[in-house]
Structure 1
Amino acid sequence: MSMTILIVDDEKNARKGLSEFLQPQGYEVIEAEKLAEAYEQLDQGNADIVLLDVKLPDGVGTSLLEETAHIPYRPPIIMITAYGEVDMAVKAMNDGAFYFLQKPINLEHLKALIEKASDKVKLFRQLAAIQRNQQQEANFIVGKSTAMQEALELAERAAEASASTLITGETGTGKEVIAQYMYSVGSRKNTIFLPIDCGVIQPTMLETELFGHEAGAFTSADKRKIGLMEAADGGILFLDEISSMPVEVQTKLLRALESQSFRRLGGTKEINVDVQVIAASNKNLPEMIEAGDFREDLYYRLNLMEIQMPSLAERKEDVPDLVGHFVNKFAPKYGKNITDVTPAALEAMTNYTYKGNIRDLRNVIERAVILCDDAAIDLPHLPRDMAVPA
């Protein structure tokens, strides 16, 4: 994960020395001579970590701490001074400074501090990404069907190997749910899981959502944005409905998967990441390849492991377990004391053809719970076309 360090110091040689020490270690470095320049860089979101001199031409460095206190995920600020006043150091730490260093700087100490600050930034990024992407509850019901057992075995093997995985199946079969299951049982379970639905994001915005952008990359890009590929570093990025991804973005994704690196939009530095990508689609991707709408090389890169999610019609024996699960989920939500489903109602739900698969069944149960004032869900609580077969 790339880190950008802002060095704020009015001494050119001091900035140069720190830059020459940090850049070979893989850090991006930007410089500011005055507080005003530092404010501008922070306002654009360009800095992950700040090295801040106390004495500057246009003010005292500690004022930057006060002015940036409102930022939700303020970059860690390491104060640097040749003036070893204890009172100033105490105030700086109370105002939120990450650390207070005295010149001449011990570079090995600085290196260790920046590594600790980087860990904090990674946590910030993960929290921010989670807030942008509300995750669905996994609530995974395996069932008894052979088709689901086979899908589950493949999912567990792919999760343990951190292998690129393509999950296919009809709408509502639980593609994101099994992706979350892979996250919970795999080698990356203690990292981060970031989902993105490629089908609901404007094609022109999908690239910046995935890869981020630098300030000034386009007209409205007033701040640097960290993309999901970067935020998911060390974890899993789930690309739902990848068939909706424009071909030009597919090209950039392919390169990122092959090299485990990319550039932010408008950027020049390669950002190295370690991300397991799980993709899902309800479309026939081989047909899209034939039509020129999906890259064949990306398809094979994602399809190292393929998991075919069965439709509900292919796993009718699992319907009773799913019904019980959803009743237990929704009855407390709506304050109902529902403990059973009548045999007639269960038979009707088992034999029904669900166009939206598990998602449709979930809606049927939620509606039935709302309508039911008894201890058991019965035929009158079901949709008319389900309760009265044609």
Structure 2
Amino acid sequence: MNTMTTSILIIDDNVKWCKSLAQNFEPRGYQVSFTTSGAEALTYLADHPVQVILLDIMLGKENGLALLEEILLQHHQIPVIMITGFGSIDTAVQSLKLGAFDYMTKPLDIEELLRKIDLAASPNRHALLTDQSTRPNKHRTAQLITQNERMLELCQKAKKFAETDFPVFITGENGTGKEVIADFIHAHSSRASQGMLKINCAAFPETLLDNELFGHEKGAYTGADTSFKGVFERADRSSLFLDEIGDMPLTIQAKILRTLQSHEIRRLGGHKTITVDVRFIAASNKNIRKLLRENTFREDLFYRLDVATIHMPPLRERKEDIPLLARYFLAVYADMHATPPCELQEDVLKMFLQHTWPGNIRELKNTIHYAATLSTTGFISCHDLPPRFKQIEHHRGASNIREDMERNLILSTLKKTRYNKKKTAELLNMSRTTLYKKLERYGLSQTT
């Protein structure tokens, strides 16, 4: 069970409405903040971690769609749910074309909105793990959607770590699947029967993070009417995933180090120590060695963690996985909406392979979700993709035209030889090795 608190930013010029939403969300465990203008929102996002944004299309005199574009330009990894009071499908579709995750119309159905927020914030939006029915047979034992050698080796390394109780430290850019690997390690460990608990260290100010981790006794501070178990206690005999540990304050780092060494914690306001048996898994998207040089991360904690380390490669370094992941996300989308899965057109796949994917797997998942929502033909075409892909299409240039011609020539020759690759290579005056490389490059390797 994922107990990670979801942080929501509401952007609306109606303060009363913002407070009303917060009153609905906060008792259910959501962390809510709100701003009343675009400038205020961008300033807030620059300094605070946010998992989901609710943005009103009518933001006073400001254009909510223009603000959406600016947010996605600066913070493309944060899903944005648009709110409109007019029920205009044209406006809603326009927001989706710009890159919004979803939209809702006023008056809001709170339960439906919460469902969409949970979906937007879910780590499984960019999950690599899948079940036996959707995983390619070739790689079932890896339990990863991958044909990348580095990733397959990483999977085996993670399995070996799972057999121990060592702390595991996972690094990598945003969206590379750090939490998914943490789930994978826990699922293959002796603690798998107990659900792993998770907390995002960047989502809380210092005092709240201290409370979430270690709990408090009744009367520890004003408003502490009952005692509260922190995640260390609740994760006893299980695993605890601390995401973005590089954002953790030094004072909390010291307490984490003591817990790792002594297997004991003390609640806020408490006097007795409590023994905990917790498997510790941490992750960060930051350069920890740089933080060490800046004295913002404890050296002793780093060396305590630097026993079993895993670095998740960015998607741009495992491009052979892009077609597999894209088709998997199409299947997931189809399953969610009870529709037949869309198919990717070849020019879309080529564009995907050219893209650098700064948001990694999370960005790919969001792109597929966006395109599948807009597609009306059963195929994902270039016209269904977010606007940023238009720049890739515009800059394809003469070299890409040549590649298109070469691909068409190879395909027509294959058809003439009834897909006899030896004869095809001879007719094209190239070695079979060169032909196989070009078939792979142009997405024709599965042509029979």
**TM band (smaller chain):** 0.5 to 0.7
- Preserved contact between residue 215 and residue 268 of structure 2 (Cα < 8 Å): yes
Verify: 1:294 aligned to 2:297, yes or no.
yes
Verify: 1:364 aligned to 2:367, yes or no.
yes
The counterpart of 1:355, out of the listed 351, 354, 358, is: 358
- Give a deviation string over 1:62-86, Cα, whole Å, max 9, x none: xxxxxxxxxxxxxxxxxxxxxxxxx
The residue number in structure 2 matching 1:205 is: 208
The counterpart of 1:219, out of the listed 222, 226, 238, is: 222
Separation in structure 1 between the aligned mates of residue 292 and residue 169 of structure 2, nearest angstrom: 15
- Alignment CA distance shift 1:334-1:221 (3 Å): same
| Correspondence list, 1:24-39, <5 A | none
Which ranges in structure 1 are unaligned for 5 or more consecutive residues?
Answer: 1-130
- Is the radius of gyration larger for structure 1 or structure 2? 1
SS at match of 1:199: helix
| Correspondence list, 1:26-65, <5 A | none
- Give a deviation string over 1:346-375, Cα, whole Å, max 9, x none: 111122111110110011000010011122
Which ranges in structure 2 are unaligned for 5 or more consecutive residues?
Answer: 1-117, 130-143, 396-448
Separation in structure 1 between the aligned mates of residue 163 and residue 279 of structure 2, nearest angstrom: 11
Give RMSD over aligned pairs.
Answer: 1.7
The counterpart of 2:281, out of the listed 275, 278, 281, is: 278
- Preserved contact between residue 217 and residue 269 of structure 2 (Cα < 8 Å): yes
Give 1:286's aligned amino acid.
R
Percent identity (aligned): 41
Separation in structure 1 between the aligned mates of residue 330 and residue 287 of structure 2, nearest angstrom: 34
- Preserved contact between residue 159 and residue 185 of structure 2 (Cα < 8 Å): yes
The counterpart of 2:383, out of the listed 380, 383, 388, is: 380
The counterpart of 1:334, out of the listed 330, 334, 337, is: 337
- Preserved contact between residue 162 and residue 187 of structure 1 (Cα < 8 Å): no
Give 2:279's aligned amino acid.
Q
Verify: 1:258 aligned to 2:256, yes or no.
no
Give 1:278's aligned amino acid.
I
Separation in structure 2 between the aligned mates of residue 340 and residue 319 of structure 1, nearest angstrom: 14
Separation in structure 2 between the aligned mates of residue 142 and residue 272 of structure 1, nearest angstrom: 39
The counterpart of 1:229, out of the listed 229, 232, 247, is: 232
Separation in structure 1 between the aligned mates of residue 226 and residue 122 of structure 2, nearest angstrom: 26
The counterpart of 2:178, out of the listed 170, 175, 178, is: 175
Verify: 1:312 aligned to 2:315, yes or no.
yes
- Preserved contact between residue 333 and residue 341 of structure 2 (Cα < 8 Å): no
Report how far residue 135 of structure 1 moved: 6.6
SS at match of 2:163: helix
Separation in structure 2 between the aligned mates of residue 385 and residue 203 of structure 1, nearest angstrom: 37
Report how far residue 197 of structure 1 moved: 0.4
Separation in structure 2 between the aligned mates of residue 369 and residue 331 of structure 1, nearest angstrom: 9
- Preserved contact between residue 142 and residue 148 of structure 1 (Cα < 8 Å): no
Give 1:372's aligned amino acid.
S
Separation in structure 1 between the aligned mates of residue 203 and residue 155 of structure 2, nearest angstrom: 28
Separation in structure 1 between the aligned mates of residue 122 and residue 227 of structure 2, nearest angstrom: 24
- Give a deviation string over 1:12-59, Cα, whole Å, max 9, x none: xxxxxxxxxxxxxxxxxxxxxxxxxxxxxxxxxxxxxxxxxxxxxxxx
| Correspondence list, 1:138-177, <5 A | 138-140=127-129, 141-177=144-180
| Correspondence list, 1:179-190, <5 A | 179-190=182-193
The counterpart of 1:269, out of the listed 267, 272, 275, is: 272
Report how far residue 160 of structure 1 moved: 1.2
Deviates more, 1:142-151 or 1:270-279: 142-151
The residue number in structure 2 matching 1:15 is: none
- Give a deviation string over 1:322-359, Cα, whole Å, max 9, x none: 00110001123334423421111111112211111011
Aligned length: 258
Verify: 1:238 aligned to 2:241, yes or no.
yes
Separation in structure 2 between the aligned mates of residue 363 and residue 350 of structure 1, nearest angstrom: 16
Give 2:267's aligned amino acid.
R
Verify: 1:303 aligned to 2:303, yes or no.
no
Report how far residue 139 of structure 1 moved: 5.0
- Alignment CA distance shift 1:258-1:238 (3 Å): same
Give the ranges of 4+ consecutive aligned residues of structure 1 lying more than 6 Å apart after TM superposition. none
Separation in structure 1 between the aligned mates of residue 321 and residue 257 of structure 2, nearest angstrom: 37
